[in-house]
Structures are given as C-alpha cells and as structure tokens.
Structure 1
C-alpha cells in the first residue's frame, strides 16, 4: 500500500502598516515580515489526519532568495496571502482527473506545491554543488524526516517581525554633502524579485535593516574618483552606484539578447524583460 505523506501549511497573513524609516528613507506603507521560525502545518478543516509532523520553517534563513521565488504571484505591494488561499493551492491533495477544473489544470495541490518549492529546490542546490566538485553539500533536507521530524515537532511560531518599506523610498545623500543631483526615488517593491541580501549584503536576516550610508559612511572618495577603486569601498556614492548601476546594466544586456530572440520568433512580446535606467537622469530627480 502506498504510504501518503502530508506536508503542512502555514496560514500566514502579512499586513500593511503605515511606517516611516529614519535616515535616507521615507515611505508611506510597510510589510510586516515574520522572522525566525514559522510552523507549517495542515490547515484546519483539510479533512486529513497528518501522519508526519509539522515543518519548522526557518524563514529568515531563506532571505538569501527572492520573495517571489516562493510567493510567485505577489506583486510586491499588496498583502501576501497564504498558499492555500481560495484560487491558489486550495486543494490539499491532487484531485482525481474527474474532479479537476479544466481552467485550473496547472495549479498544483498544496502538498505538491510545497514539495516542489522546498524539496526540489534542496535537490537542485545539492546537484549544483556536486557538479561544481564540492565535497561538503550545504543545503536543506530532502528526506521526509529531515523536514518532518519524528517524534512530532511542537508548533513553534516566532512573534518577531520586521517592517519592510513598500512603495517609493527617497534616497538622499548625507546631509553634509553638497549635491549636484536630486535624490533617487527608489521603487522598493519592484525589487522584491531579487534576494534581500543582494543589496543588504551584511544583513543577518533578523535584526533591523540599516540604511546603506550607516556602513558606507565616507562622504569623499579615499582613492581615485573611480567608483570601482577598491579604496572607495566605504564611499557612499560608490556603494550605491556599484550595486544599482551594475545591476541595471545587466538588465539592459538581457533585454538586448531577448530582443534578438523576439525577432527570431523564439519568444513573445510578453516575455521581453524590462530594462532599468543606467543614465543619471533616469534615477535622479531634478535637484
């Protein structure tokens, strides 16, 4: 008899609140982001008795991935809904062919969705590390008991959270700097397709996120005026430009390559990626 494995689901609600951050950021709304551990368990009323324990999910350990890696339909601005929300992965188990809705044929069951996102990602990372010749594989578990420990784990939910700014963040130069260009209106929500640590590279995933200039606090270049000069690593202007402009230039390259594929009929217009600004006036408002 085939043994059935139950995976748990968390019914998480991420709320929007009014917020204003100190330093060079100011926004009107924020996302309350849970840190620490979240227990994923079978939803009440699922009609199934779990045979395996709930999953203790270390949310903050996954901030090296983009939010949309898991929350794949989130627009970066609205409220985050649970995976089992009506219209999403609302069926706990896969339906029989006679029960399926033809309009939802590509929507996986809740069990299938969790296993595909979590376990398959762990397997993929392990395979990549092996292919790279790594002798020590560092990734999440792939065996059932690695996520569903026996005896059953207790439900543990951390009450800790962080307020993550949404909308436009106004990035300004330090007060003591006389600028020749205006501030940058940074659309934070549009960047949730990237991992938090792409920009906040020293963040531990749990403590408050500090503004970049709290670390990169030098207001004058230490070396040459070249932002690529290693001596300018802590120069605030070099830090911003190295992260932002370098990434934006990559989007331009990807768009150019995609346009060639579009001309060859390999992709459609809907698949054409957007390119971010790379020129001064594209980011800086008039001073």
Structure 2
C-alpha cells in the first residue's frame, strides 16, 4: 500500500498543478510601436513544450497568470522601438543575445549546440502581408 501511495504521489499529484501552455499565439507590440511583423509562436511546438516555463517566464511564481507576460510587473514595459538596450525594453526581452531567457539568446545557444533554431530576423518576423 505504501508503494502504491508513493507512485500516486510521484506521478499523479504533479499533474494537478501542471499548467497547460497556450498552443499558438501571436507576439506583437502595441499599435504603432513595432518595426517588424508580429511573430507567430507555437508555444507547445518547436521544442518549446519541453522547456521549463521559467526558462522564459523567469519571474513567474508557478501558479498565477501574473508574470506570464514580459510586460507584467513592470519588467519589460518600455515599448519605444528606438530603445533597444535598456533591460526594461520589450525589445530586449526577446532579442538579448547574451541571455538564454530571451528568444534570440536561447536560439543562438541551441544553434551552437547543433539544434535547428531560427536566428535570422525574417525567420521569426515574416515580411509584412
């Protein structure tokens, strides 16, 4: 009976707290601030599903919806397209080449590790339609 209880605890209980990531989404800036096309993002595909949520959502508490967006809690809430270097810029959240918490930084590391990860601008930002 103890073995059965242990198995339930190990395999079933964590599923009660599991977060279901959205399947597809479009990442875009507020109207009039973007210089490139929005990014179509497959949350549950392209290797993203295998990542720990906190790999990207590094300020997330693991429970609530707060901290799931880069602009939550005042983290990356500068939307000025000319401001690309400030740590609080929305641009930096996605394009910091030196941080694996950003899309581009993570993709560059994956590419260096021999994985297929897009790093060219137009691979993520298709030409405007």
Q: Is the alpha carbon distance of 1:80 and 1:143 closer, same or farther for their aligned partners in structure 2, counting shifts above 3 Å?
A: same
Q: Aligned partners of 1:139 and 1:80: how far apart in 2? A: 31
Deviations 1:154-175 (A, max 9, x none): xxxxxxxxxxxxxxxxxxxxxx
- TM-superposed CA distance for 1:26, in Å, is 6.0
Shift of 1:40: 0.3
- Structure 1 position 75, deviation (Å): 1.8
TM-score, normalised to structure 1, is 0.33
Larger Rg: 1
Matches within 5 A, 1:226-241: none
Residue among 38, 54, 61 paired with 1:54: 38
Counterpart secondary structure, 2:95? helix
Q: What TM-score comes out, normalization by structure 2 length?
A: 0.68
State the partner residue of 1:148. 125
Distance 1:84 1:149, change over 3 A: same
- 1:24-69 deviations in Å (ceiling 9; x for gaps): 5469x7576343211001124xx52x33211001100201111100
* Pairing 1:265-284 to 2, within 5 Å after superposition: none
SS in structure 1 of the partner of residue 104 of structure 2: helix
Distance 2:88 2:43 in 1: 22
* Dislocated runs of 4+, deviation >6 Å: none
Structure 2 residue aligned with 1:125:
110
Q: CA deviation at 1:74?
A: 1.1
Give 5+ residue unaligned stretches, structure 1. Answer: 1-23, 97-104, 130-137, 153-287
Residue aligning to 1:108: 88
Residue of structure 1 equivalent to 2:79: 92
Measure the CA separation in 2 of the matches of 1:141 and 1:95.
20
In the alignment of these two chains, the number of paired residues is 108
C-alpha spacing 1:78/1:151, structure 2 compared with 1 (3 Å) = closer
Find the counterpart in structure 2 of residue 70 from structure 1. Answer: 56
Output the CA distance in 2 between the equivalents of 1:43 and 1:63: 26
Q: Unpaired segments of 5 or more residues in structure 2?
A: 1-7, 97-101
Secondary structure class of the residue paired with 1:60: coil
Q: CA distance change for structure 1 residues 51 and 87 in 2, over 3 Å: closer, same or farther?
A: closer
Conserved 8 A contact 2:84-2:91: no
Relative to 1, partners in 2 of residues 1:124 and 1:114: Cα closer, same or farther, differing over 3 Å?
same
